[in-house]
Homo-oligomer: A and B are copies of this chain.
């Protein structure tokens, strides 16, 4: 079993320990680094395309998206992240941001200066490997999203997104299973779901109604229950293998 991590930085350290075995003293340093965090409201840009950040953010609580806004004003969400994520670690190697990182809900964010991060990676090479692995995982998820956007129908896309998020959430204790059912909170508006799936919010609405009517998903507000995950996964052509590196060891 991976060591138990408490406090606001708990999920962050848990996630990193999934990606590589961090020595205890490194965990302590990282824990202290994100100690002073900031609270942000929903729809707040943490970093914008073109920025040159001097620190990395750590999502301690809440949801954020990567997104790009086209010339016509249309926004595409390219990935979703929740507690424990370090979505702008890339700024260490690739100084200019090529996209925005925006909160989707009220969010608690910690920051680690690049200089600290660099010296930590020098002292603990395993940290660099953990973040490389994290980048590879993100790339695998991005590939699956490309398939979702390019090769699946509206209902399948929506179902696939729910399968992915349910799986990722469960692995970090944020979904509860009872039998083959899975219950979790996904606090995104239909507009945001549309921006993630390349659909209009109206059509997201219709797709979710289809999923509800077919009995595959139950919903009250932002709480969802997938009544039969294998069935929904088969419908959406969801195969969790591409997420495997993220699964915590037990």
Residues of A contacting B: mostly: helix
Chain A, 124-136, contact with B by CB distance < 8 Å: what is the 0/1 string?
A: 0100110111011
Interface residues in A176-235 by Cβ distance below 8 A to B read 197-198
- Within 8 Å by CB of A144, from B68, B96, B125, B132, lies B68
Q: How far is the CB of A236 from chain B (nearest CB, A)?
A: 9
Integer count of this chain's copies in the complex: 2
Given A76-B150, A144-B68, A150-B149, A133 and B93 contact (CB-CB distance below 8 Å)? yes
Of the stretches A8-16, A25-33, A240-248, the one at the interface is A240-248
Question: A244, B96: Cβ atoms under 8 Å?
Answer: yes
Chain A, 114-129, contact with B by CB distance < 8 Å: what is the 0/1 string?
A: 0000000000010011
- Within 8 Å by CB of A129, from B70, B90, B128, B133, lies B128
Question: B70, A245: Cβ atoms under 8 Å?
Answer: no
Rounded to whole angstroms, the CA-CA distance of A79 and B237 in the bound complex is 20
Given A135-B135, A139-B139, A143-B142, A151 and B76 contact (CB-CB distance below 8 Å)? yes
| A74 touches B (CB below 8 Å) | yes
Question: A96, B198: Cβ atoms under 8 Å?
Answer: no
Residues of B within 8 A of A242 (CB): 98-99
Residues of B within 8 A of A98 (CB): 140, 143-144, 241-242
| A21 touches B (CB below 8 Å) | no
Q: How far is the CB of A91 from chain B (nearest CB, A)?
A: 10
Question: B150, A197: Cβ atoms under 8 Å?
Answer: yes
Question: B135, A142: Cβ atoms under 8 Å?
Answer: no
Please provide the 7 A-B residue pairs with the shortest distance between their CB atoms, ordered closest to farther. A150-B198, A149-B149, A142-B142, A98-B242, A132-B132, A76-B151, A78-B143
12 contacts between A and B (CB under 8 A): A75-B151, A76-B146, A90-B140, A93-B129, A93-B133, A94-B140, A96-B244, A98-B242, A99-B242, A128-B128, A135-B135, A142-B142
- A residues near B, CB below 8 A? 50, 66, 68, 70-72, 74-76, 78-79, 90, 93-94, 96, 98-99, 125, 128-129, 131-133, 135-140, 142-147, 149-152, 197-198, 237, 241-242, 244-245
